Amino acid sequence: MRRRAGDRGQVSIELLGMTPLIVLTLVLMWQCVLTGYAYTLAGNAADEGVRAGTAVPPGERYGVCEQAALKHLSAAWKEGATVPHCDGTGYVTADVYLKVPVLFPGSIDFPVTVHGHAGTVEEVKR
């Protein structure tokens, strides 16, 4: 009796056809995770900056705030980080912008930045 070879190798062909789609899906999911992590880092950096900025006089606030905001970021994330705003009277706010990297930090960046914002009441020293 002869075996029919009509379907032989069909699973291998289907797997080869689906492999690019599977890889593309995984890359896009990873990029979404990286974007979410960038939002988390930007928010945390703004929190750290505003926390440090409330403990100093308004004239010295920006330098201390910027240094504290960037302190806990790794070198790869610091490259695209900016702290354009950290001041206020009575209510101190800080803004941090991070660039979203492509696939891993330290590589090229998307032309997209994420924004972290934080604010708190200024400490009163008596």
Report pLDDT for 40.
93
Report pLDDT for 108.
78
Exposure string of 55-91, with b = 16+ CB inside 10 Å and e = fewer, is: ebeeeebbebbbebbbeebeeebeebbebebbebeee
Helices and strands (DSSP H and E) totals, the chain:
3, 3
User: Could you give the CA distance from residue 86 to residue 102 in angstroms, rounded to a whole number?
Assistant: 28
Contact between 105 and 121 under an 8 Å Cβ cutoff? The reply is: no
**Residue 51 per-residue DSSP state:** H
Report pLDDT for 2.
56
Report pLDDT for 1.
53
**Would you give per-residue pLDDT tens digits along the chain (126 residues)?**
555 656 677 778 888 888 999 999 999 999 999 989 989 999 999 988 888 888 877 777 778 888 888 888 888 888 878 888 777 777 888 889 998 888 877 777 777 889 999 888 877 665
Report pLDDT for 6.
63
Query: Which residue segments constitute the domains of the chain, with CATH numbers given?
Result: 10-121 (3.30.1300)
Report pLDDT for 21.
93
Closest by alpha carbon to 52, among 39, 65, 34? Answer: 65
Please state, as a whole number, how many other Cβ atoms lie within 10 Å of the Cβ of residue 38: 24
Q: Where in the chain does DSSP place strands (E)?
A: 82-87, 91-101, 109-121
Contact between 114 and 97 under an 8 Å Cβ cutoff? The reply is: yes
Provide the whole-model pTM: 0.77
